[in-house]
Amino acid sequence: MRRHLAALLLAPALLATAACGSDEGQSPNAGEADKVTVGVIPILDVAPIYLGVEKGFFEKRNIDVTLEQAEGGAAIVPAVVSGQYQFGFSNIVSLLLAHSEGLPVKMVSNGNNSTGVDGEDFAALMVSADSPIETAADLEGRTVAANTLQNIVDTAVRASVRKAGGDPTKVKFTALPFPEQPAALASGQVDAVFVVEPFQQAVLGQGGRTIASSYVDTAPNLTVASYFTSQRILSENPELVKRFTQAMQESLSYANGHPDEARAIIGSYTNIARDVVARVTLPKWPAEVNRDSVQRVADLALEDGLLKEPAKVGDLLP
């Protein structure tokens, strides 16, 4: 089974891309591009930033971008705070938790959104073909795999359980990287998985089925993740942050309007088989953060006990 999945979804490949130049919001050091490292996750969600680098959207704003891959947003947050990365990509819950704990993070751009269509999203809560689990309510006392713990997966899965009439406090979570989840589900190591594309295709390929579109259950047109920076970068170089935000907004709008090019760029930072890329459901990439959805996620995270007190969402948003 593992060999079959490896053939379908090869391990992600690292990519570091750089560009330099000048245009609006030009760097004060004319002729010398600002070098920045951005922490990303090797999943479809970040296709716009790779596309933006390729299209020169950062170059024309005098930003030299290196993209570094990490396992999940929860790992990227401390790397940005410590200065290892100047910007990062992380799910909304990890950012809300970091902000609530006093970490100096600030969202600067939207990342990606759910499609908002039940049964046709880029992520799903899934079980094996022969599982007795029929709805998310049946996950009480069961174990669900998440790529990292205390992130948006916890909140979204619990939203599905709550919607189905179950008790979300009785669901257990275990951390497993996305590439390992299909095999773990097939072997019975976990009862369910919450996977994004292309791993959704892997589960479907081994006969698995979807029991909920948890991002859709969480909030309409949910903002799932965003790009962020540290308060130190924001205070020391606000012009750089402004130019990065402009480049990201252009990248997001371009990817949203050119889905074929977004699919094509995925092959540059992953080794996903071409036929799988052609089948995957892409996220939505609006340029602006859905602020109402972030507030909804914050409210759910508080209800679920991930947050100890109400989040100051306005202070975190761009």
Give tens-digit pLDDT for 110-152. 999 999 999 999 999 999 999 999 999 999 999 999 988 888 9
**CA angle centred on 34, ends 271 and 112, rounded to 5°:** 45
HSE of 93, CA atoms in CB hemisphere, 13 A = 25
End-to-end CA gap in the chain:
44
What confidence tens digit (pLDDT) does each residue in 61-100 have?
A: 999 999 999 877 778 999 999 999 999 999 999 999 999 9
Q: Find the helix or strand (DSSP H, E) in which 143 lies.
A: strand 143-146
Is it the case that residue 20 has pLDDT exceeding 60?
no
> What is the identity of the amino acid at 62?
N
- Output the pLDDT for position 30: 56
Q: CATH top-level class for 1-318?
A: alpha beta
What confidence tens digit (pLDDT) does each residue in 154-179 have?
A: 999 999 999 999 999 999 999 998 89
The answer to whether residues 24 and 239 touch, using CB atoms and an 8 Å cutoff, is no
CA neighbor of 273 nearest in space, from 259, 262, 285, 263: 263
* pTM score, whole prediction: 0.86
